[in-house]
């Protein structure tokens, strides 16, 4: 139950963060196009999307914070170790999150106040920062597969070496493309041109997924074998195939039911992918420690074992789950209010 709870919170965070990467990029490009073509409807659509994103961005942060707090509570020894050795990639992502949040505020506040070129520059900074935020986190995920880049004097991760981790090199671009796939499919409900883009990025994501699986087979075989032997793996593959079918069917007959189905499949696929990636390395936080000296592996063994959480938190799982339910209800209500409220008309410069 504990592991499922932690993974559930992380999965929700990742779904929202993935959607944010895509929207952060599409919105400023859409607004720029609308301004050049004097397209009032497209401009209003960009504004609605930005209002939704600005209003719900904090949800991703809430679930991300909850995930971090859970790990800190249940696995304090590992988080203490990770905080020291992974300071640089963590710090990189934190700085990018701060920059991204600032850009969101400035972009929304300056919608009708800044010059179009200035506003577009802020928007593209917002997009670039969103795309780069996962860089540090995925570098750490690659490290959890194979601890490449771990230095001992002092104990830390050499970030440049960590970025050469073969599992990271496939995982990071796959994550970014999955974000755009999810976003394109959802936006295709109002504009079928996005469905074609979604089909392209879905195909590219699938290719990178195969490459990522191959790197796991070579460098973290324990995780690879767990993944492909799991029923969750076949469920995820089924959802990927279902997305292809739904997108192609939508492009052929333009039925809204197909793109709604594709959106549901895409959301579920992103969620299942993160759960599969996390659970397939259970019970280890670091899967392959063979690249480390024997004395280091011995010292790390009790720290990276997920099967032995902090005994002081044994009674907190049920309480945490009880408080998670109203959090999810409040999140759903917020999204409902944001998407149903009337929007003021925007002005084209």
pTM of the model: 0.86
Q: Averaged over 285-289, what is the pLDDT?
A: 87
pLDDT of res. 230: 92
Which distant-in-sequence residues (6+ apart) come within 8 Å of 55 by Cβ? 334, 338
Instruction: Give per-residue pLDDT as tens, 155-184.
Output: 778 888 888 999 999 999 999 999 999 999
pLDDT of res. 344: 46
Helix axes 76-85, 40-74, angle to 10 degrees: 120
How many Å is the Cα radius of gyration of the chain? 21
pLDDT of res. 310: 75
pLDDT of res. 300: 80
DSSP letter for 346, please.
P
* Domains in the chain with CATH codes: 2-340 (1.20.1630.10)
Residue 150: helix, strand or coil by DSSP? strand
Residue 314: pLDDT band with limits 50, 70, 90: low
pLDDT at residue 262 tops 80: yes
Selection from 16-20, 78-82, 337-341 with the highest mean pLDDT: 16-20
């Amino acid at each position: 139950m504990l592991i499922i709870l932690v993974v559930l919170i992380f999965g929700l965070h990742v779904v929202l963060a993935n959607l944010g990467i895509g929207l952060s990029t599409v919105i400023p490009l859409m607004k720029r196009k609308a301004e050049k073509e004097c397209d009032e409807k497209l401009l209003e659509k960009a504004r609605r999307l930005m209002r939704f994103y600005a209003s719900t961005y904090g949800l991703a942060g809430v679930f991300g914070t909850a995930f971090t707090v859970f790990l800190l509570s249940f696995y304090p020894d590992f988080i203490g170790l990770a905080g020291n050795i992974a300071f640089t990639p963590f710090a990189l992502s934190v700085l990018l999150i701060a920059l991204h949040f600032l850009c969101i505020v400035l972009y929304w506040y300056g919608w009708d106040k800044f010059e179009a070129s200035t506003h577009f520059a802020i928007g593209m900074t917002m997009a670039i920062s969103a795309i780069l935020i996962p860089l540090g986190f995925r570098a750490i995920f690659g490290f959890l597969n194979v601890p490449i880049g771990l230095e001992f004097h002092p104990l830390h991760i050499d970030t440049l070496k960590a970025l050469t981790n073969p599992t990271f090199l496939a995982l990071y671009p796959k994550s970014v493309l999955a974000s755009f796939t999810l976003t394109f499919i959802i936006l295709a409900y109002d504009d079928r041109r996005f469905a074609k883009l979604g089909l392209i990025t879905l195909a590219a994501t699938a290719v990178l997924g195969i490459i990522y699986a191959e790197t796991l087979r070579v460098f973290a075989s324990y995780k690879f074998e767990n993944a492909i032997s799991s029923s969750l793996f076949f469920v995820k593959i089924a959802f990927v195939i279902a997305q292809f079918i739904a997108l192609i069917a939508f492009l052929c007959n333009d039925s809204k039911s197909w793109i709604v189905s594709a959106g549901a499949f895409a959301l579920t696929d992103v969620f299942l992918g993160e759960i599969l990636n996390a659970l397939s390395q259970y019970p280890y936080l670091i899967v392959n420690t063979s690249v480390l000296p024997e004395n280091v592996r011995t010292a790390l063994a009790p720290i990276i074992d997920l099967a032995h959480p902090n005994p002081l938190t044994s009674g907190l799982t049920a309480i945490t789950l009880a408080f998670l339910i109203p959090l999810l209800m409040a999140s759903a209500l917020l999204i409902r209010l944001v998407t149903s409220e009337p929007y003021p008309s925007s002005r084209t410069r």
